[in-house]
Amino acid sequence: MRLLSLCLCLGFLLPIGALAATLPPISQRGLKTSRAVLSATDDYNGRLLTFALSLEELALAFYNSSLSQFSPGHFNSDGYASHVRRGYERIQATTQAHVDYLTSELTSLGDLDALGSCDYGFSINSTRQFIDMSEAIHALAVSTYTGTLRHIHTSKYKTAFGSMLGLEARYATWISTTVKNQDLWNSPFESPLTLNDTWTVAGLYVTSCPPGTNPAEIFPQNLVDWPVLTIPHTVNPGDSISLSFNDTLHTVTPGKPLHAAFLVGSGAITAPLTTGINGYSVTVPQSLGGRGAVWVKVIQGGSLEITDSNMVAGPALMIMPSQDRTGNHVKIVDNTLSW
């Protein structure tokens, strides 16, 4: 089982599947036990702030490494106007500001054990890969903050998270419309991810962390790893696609067959999995065309209510673009991430 580590900030974590399988449960991994004594409210808030800091540090590491790799000349030679890289520089600065804010709040709470930084790795070899990955990271951030708001009970932090959510959504829209020259996505609501969903996805990019910090002491409690869901690199609406995952969470239950759940806005479209000689497959609903960021999960049963109790694998991400800004069909190529 992969080490689902949104311990992008700290922790005795490495997200490589073979290594993660050898690690003990999260509650047993840590070595450090010197976390400051906090009130119950500050402890709760600190864990959510650390969770957000992890995600922002992941994004910042992505922008720092990628923008040092690709100069304005690289963007220009690949056909992008000068304002594109300038826009990314502004996003980079905003992400740094988010990191600084969250760090300051954790410091004011006295939660010093939650401060630190991991190393991250991204396989980015072209400006196009950079742009596609930036779109995915902001889709992850939008869905993470949308889902996390329900857990925040302090108005100060609910406002702060809502403010950061608004900026992440603005940047995601800028990437799809201005950078990729597409129409607005056809979705009236954002799709929320659970804490476990984000924890699963983000850990894939951690390459090393400082030893000696116990994730169970600084992150929201009882986080678990979901098995990784792998889907094809290119997916169009109506395609029959293969799905692969470690089915350690799957128990054959009469009346509860496996389904793919495609998160669309505040709901989901489910489709039954078919079992064949090469594993599982599913037909992608035609109605997903133009919906933008669509998260894919495998669940037990076809219920539209997706909870931890019926989760089997995922999430993977599909970007389903609208037509381009001239009204022409957008050819879909390499529009998914299995993380």
Is a pLDDT exceeding 90 seen at residue 278? no
Q: Token match 């939660």: residue?
A: 111
pLDDT greater at residue 227 or residue 17:
227
- Alpha-carbon distance of 242 to 259, in angstroms, equals 13
- Average pLDDT score over residue span 266-270: 94
| pLDDT tens-place string over residues 117-176 | 788 999 999 999 999 999 999 999 999 999 999 999 999 999 999 999 999 999 999 999
Annotated domain spans of the chain: 17-218, 240-337
Q: What is the pLDDT of residue 1?
A: 36
Q: Across the chain, what does the average pLDDT equal?
A: 87
- Alpha-carbon distance of 50 to 230, in angstroms, equals 28
pLDDT greater at residue 27 or residue 305:
305
- Alpha-carbon distance of 30 to 116, in angstroms, equals 15
CATH of segment(s) 17-218: 1.20.1260.10
Which pTM value belongs to this model? 0.88
Q: What percent of the chain has pLDDT over 90?
A: 70
Q: What is the pLDDT of residue 36?
A: 53
Torsion of CA 208, 210, 211, 217, to 10 degrees: -110
Q: What is the pLDDT of residue 218?
A: 86
Is a pLDDT exceeding 70 seen at residue 35? no
Is a pLDDT exceeding 80 seen at residue 22? no
- Average pLDDT score over residue span 101-123: 87
- Alpha-carbon distance of 12 to 163, in angstroms, equals 31
For residue 213, name the pLDDT band (cuts at 50, 70, 90).
low
